[in-house]
Amino acid sequence: MKTQAAIAHASNRPFVIEEVDLNDPKDGEVRVKISACGICRSDLSALEGKETVEFPVVLGHEAAGTIEAVGNGVSTLKEGDTVVLSWTPACGTCPACIRGQVHLCAGINMTTGSQGPLSLGGVTLDRFMGLGAFCEHVVVPQKMAVHVQSSLLPEHTCLIGCGVTTGFGAAVNTAGIRWGETVAVLGCGGVGLAAIQGARIAGASRIFAVDPIAERRNVARQVGATETLAPEDVPKQIIQMTAGGVDCAIECVGSIATMQDAFHMIRDGGRAIVVGLPAFTEKLDIPAIMLLREKKLTGSIYGSSSPHIDFNKIAALGESGTLDFSALVDKTRHFSEINEGFAEMREGKLTRVVLTF
């Protein structure tokens, strides 16, 4: 079939919306009509050439839509189902999936290269995270489309596909925040704000939100932060304010400097969780002697979540009002305004721009 996709032909160049060819679903695949797709920071990094993609590429991975067609053998979805796309294939056969850690599935890949159902002029287009959701329709394996029964707006539902699950899960799953603990969240973009809400829902007694932009700090207070700080000598401030450091620090920026700050501001026996995506060539340097104080440093991918279990739980929290989705979306734009949306995200002031179709 023919559909419309926003194609990045080269790094740091405007998207061009063009008519492309999309193959019918094969065995085990489904076709999804996209309703909304968030512009994630990793999409911006990919456009800037900082991630592994092959141009021309269709970016976009934080999306929700409706099942329009199913291939043979599809048993979990039917036409008309509302779904959120997941960028973990959840293959079920790799060692990580067998352990129940589907967020670490060996099949996760930022690029599909010359393979996939989408093409332009006979040339197969790369699809970021195996999805390529800046497109009116996508064809994906059934396990990468999770049926979500929710009354949330599409521009909120789509956030479950990446930012909300990543941040909320980092606090609740990876960090395992417990009632009464103190938490610092570095970076108050969409992921950071979701982490703050995860910490609040888990029962944290004090939540420090760190961000250079005052508007973001204000939103952080709105969703649960008890104190906010600009990023100036933050470890020293946090240690003084907590008499030794926080129980947990969650880094949501992707900067080596903030990763180091996160590690330095935790108490003895505390834990630092790195969520932000650094460049692949960067290295983190921390004093090894600090590990003798049982300080823990770990990464978090996709919030250590299982999409087929956690997506609906997160949606339910949104429906009840426990998790505030509206505070996470600054602006919605029509798909045709994708370049304007990326320009706004590049400025760094907005939490999330969502494209609607």
Q: What is the mean pLDDT of the chain?
A: 96
The alpha-carbon radius of gyration of the chain (Å, integer) is 20
Report whether pLDDT(349) > 80. no
Q: Is residue 194 part of a domain?
A: yes
Q: How do beta strands 182-186 and 137-141 pair?
A: unpaired
Digit-coded pLDDT (tens) for 124-161: 999 999 999 999 999 999 999 999 999 999 999 999 99
Same domain for 341 and 287: no
Same domain? 28 vs 86: yes
- Based on the fold, state whether residues 251 and 339 are members of the same structural domain: no
Domain span at residue 102?
Answer: 2-161+324-356
Asked whether residue 10 falls in the same domain as residue 153, the answer is: yes
Count CB neighbours of 184 within 10 A: 32
Classify 173 as helix, strand or coil: helix
Q: Are 205 and 295 part of one and the same domain?
A: yes
pLDDT in tens, 179-195: 999 999 999 999 999 99
pLDDT of residue 113 exceeding 80, the answer is no
pLDDT range class, residue 207, cuts 50, 70, 90: very high
Q: How many domains does the chain have?
A: 2
Are 15 and 148 in a shared domain?
Answer: yes
Q: Is the pLDDT of residue 279 over 90?
A: no
Contact yes or no for 274/297 (Cβ under 8 A): yes
Retrieve residue 200's tokens. Answer: 């609040």
* Per-residue confidence (pLDDT) for residue 110, from 0 to 100: 83
